[in-house]
Amino acid sequence: MSGCVLVIDDSAAIRDQVVRTLKDVGLFGEYREAKDGMEGFKTLIESKADLVICDVEMPRMDGYKFLQLVASRPDLQGLPIIMLTGKQDFNSKIKGLEQGASDYLTKPFDSGELVARVKVQLKIKSLQDELKQANEQLKRLTNIDHLTGLFNRRYLAEILEAEFFRAKRNRESLSLVIVDIDFFKQVNDTYGHQNGDVVLASVANVVQQHLRAYDSAARYGGEEFVVVYPGTSLEGGAAAADRLRQAVLDFTFPPPLQDLTVTISAGVATYPSPLIDNIDSLFRQADEALYRAKQNGRNRVETMPA
């Protein structure tokens, strides 16, 4: 069985009993131990666990404080925590449950009950993980253009809002490039719309390959793409756009498009600038630069006025 459990208790005998009980049924592949809440929290930060069994009353840091620290970390949300307590009163149990405990077990505990409660929490966590993955997949499908694999226009608006706010707050540059495939209608007319889709997907793939980890690209509509370059000056945005232009020019398409040469035109705009005070003006400046690239012969990059 894979997975890891972290057992936190100031009693070495209790930790040993819990670990032996769980090992006997093979619920986990890795077992970690800690003597108090502070040591347990540091252990979790260093390496995540699938489930925690934690005593309530411990020196230095008790179980309640441990729960508060776990709740403060978004990366630990959903971690099942079973509390161990020698107290029988309901108030202490309610306090723990309100602070994030998943379940309670009273000491001295029955081995069978411990195993049963652990299995229940692992099952719940498994279902929650499956739901989270399904939601992430749904979000991805909602945000992605199905043909190109790039972000769609709707999600681009969210990206730009966040990046523009960040650039404004941190007083950093933000470059936006609008890319358009030259004479794309001729590709559709000559090779058919199905092969036109191959061209769109191929150009999108070239765009994707030239992104840094923190750049973003989206299909804006038809044969038009938008690339967002955070922390990039106007000169840097123009250079990135020209590298992209050259990569598309050099790209070899699969048959029956092996003899086809595709070019792109691009317009670049960058914040901050006296000409740009919001996302709309950033787009407008990039679009006007793209128009000049088309007017000046295509297969070229133009920028907004510096």
Condensed to tens digits (0 to 9), the pLDDT of residues 27-62 reads 999 999 999 999 999 999 999 999 999 999 998 899
Residue 151 has pLDDT above 80, yes or no: yes
Residue-level pLDDT at 85:
87
> Global pTM?
0.62
**pLDDT-derived band at 1, boundaries 50, 70, 90:** low
Determine the pLDDT at residue 158.
94
- pLDDT on residue 137: 79
CA dihedral for 18, 21, 27, 30, sign (positive or negative): positive
Q: Look at residue 86 in the predicted model and tell me its pLDDT.
A: 79
**Distance, C-alpha 298 to centroid of its chain:** 36
Edge-to-edge strand order for the sheet containing 51-55? Answer: 30-34, 4-8, 51-55, 81-85, 103-106
Residue 306: the pLDDT is 84
Q: Please provide the average confidence, as pLDDT, over all residues in the chain.
A: 94
Are the beta carbons of 253 and 277 closer than 8 angstroms? no
Answer whether 54's CB lies under 8 Å from 82's CB. Answer: yes
pLDDT digits (tens, 9 = 90+) for 188-234: 999 999 999 999 999 999 999 999 999 999 999 999 999 999 999 99
Q: How far, in whole angstroms, is CA 67 from its chain's centroid?
A: 26
Domain with CATH 3.30.70.270 in the chain: 153-303
Q: What angle do CA 141, 218, 272 make, to 5 degrees?
A: 135
> How many Cα neighbours within 13 Å face the side chain of 245?
23
Structural domain 153-303, CATH architecture: 2-Layer Sandwich (3.30)
| pLDDT for res 96 | 81
**Residue 209 to residue 251: CA distance in whole angstroms:** 12
Mean pLDDT within 104-133: 92
Least confident of 2-6, 16-20, 156-160: 2-6
CA distances from 113 to 53, 95, 101, 103, 179 (A): 13, 22, 17, 12, 63
Residue 144 has phi, psi (to 5 degrees) of -105, 140
Share of residues in the chain with pLDDT > 90 (%): 84
Positions marked catalytic:
223
pLDDT of residue 90 exceeding 90, the answer is no
Residue count (the chain): 306
Q: Looking at residue 220, what is its pLDDT? A: 95
* Topology of domain 4-141, CATH: Rossmann fold (3.40.50)
Question: What is the rounded average pLDDT of the residues 178-192?
Answer: 96
The tens digit of pLDDT for each residue in 61-84 reads 999 999 999 999 999 988 999 999
